[in-house]
Amino acid sequence: MSKLSLDRILQSQGFGTRKYCRTLIEDGEVAVNGVVQDNYKTVVDTESLVLTVFEEEWRYREHVYIALYKPANYECSRKPSHHPGVLTLLPEQFTWREVQPVGRLDHDTTGMLLMSDDGPFIHAQSSPKRHVPKVYQATTAEPVTDALVAQLLGGVQLHDEPAPLAALVCEKKGEHQLEIVLEQGKYHQVKRMLAAAGNHCSALHRSAIGGLQLASLGLQEGEWCYLDEAQLALLAG
């Protein structure tokens, strides 16, 4: 629980600069737990706080933890160059809060992308020491053979890696479909592993991170949701 002035609270939730937040409050655009409050110096308890800004309700959150169903043709980089950035799929407040992707998916990869403004969480989730399994559905240009599966499970050498990288799990799901589970998150890892094994990845989708399945979130492509404590706990695997 913490008590802060209303202008600071609004700024912390991504509604803009302190000056702009003060104007919003003085203009009567902000309600605290349903009651309009036009004095920006008012000290408010953040516990169970619900703000109404321009008639839209926002629960106070110290940090946000989000899952986005990333569509193709969006970039995860901070300064996207060829396609719109994934942040354009979220409310503008999240850009102000400096929400960022946890790791990256290629612009043409679809599926689950975690996003947060909690630095230690982002760091812990992306740490190579963490070994969180990530589940991918790959479509291959050439048919999936038993030899391909065996190679991916046995380990393939990528040219800039000191040792071969192996899939934790690799299962043929169709003539050109493969489910592959990786615990590392190297650059273009699935595509490079498939290429090193003599095939080519023509489409890629991330269906789960740890024990959290994208399908359990009920999202359509381009949609996002907050993750609760139980869902965050599943990320550990």
The minimum distance between CB 128 and ligand URA, in angstroms, equals 14
Number of residues lying near ligand URA (CB under 6 A): 8
* 106 vs 118 by CB, closer to ligand URA: 106
Give residue 125's identity as a one-letter amino acid code.
Q
Does residue 187 sit in helix, strand or coil?
coil
Window contacting ligand URA (CB under 6 A); options: 13-21, 46-54, 113-121, 182-190: 182-190
Give the integer Cα–Cα distance in Å for 117 and 96: 10
* 21 vs 196 by CB, closer to ligand URA: 196
The minimum distance between CB 204 and ligand URA, in angstroms, equals 5
The minimum distance between CB 196 and ligand URA, in angstroms, equals 12
Beta strands in the chain (DSSP E): 3-5, 30-32, 35-36, 43-45, 50-53, 56-59, 65-70, 100-101, 109-116, 134-140, 169-174, 177-182, 201-209, 212-213, 224-226
Q: How distant, in Å, are the alpha carbons of 17, 18, 142, 185 from that of 132?
A: 37, 38, 29, 9
Q: Which residues are catalytic?
A: 106
* 16 vs 103 by CB, closer to ligand URA: 103
Q: Which of 9, 105, 214, 227 binds ligand URA (CB under 6 A)?
A: 105
The minimum distance between CB 228 and ligand URA, in angstroms, equals 25
Give the integer Cα–Cα distance in Å for 48 and 67: 22
Residue that is written with structure tokens 């050439």 in the block: 142
190 binds ligand URA (CB under 6 A): yes
**Binding region for ligand URA (CB under 6 A):** 105-106, 109, 188-191, 204
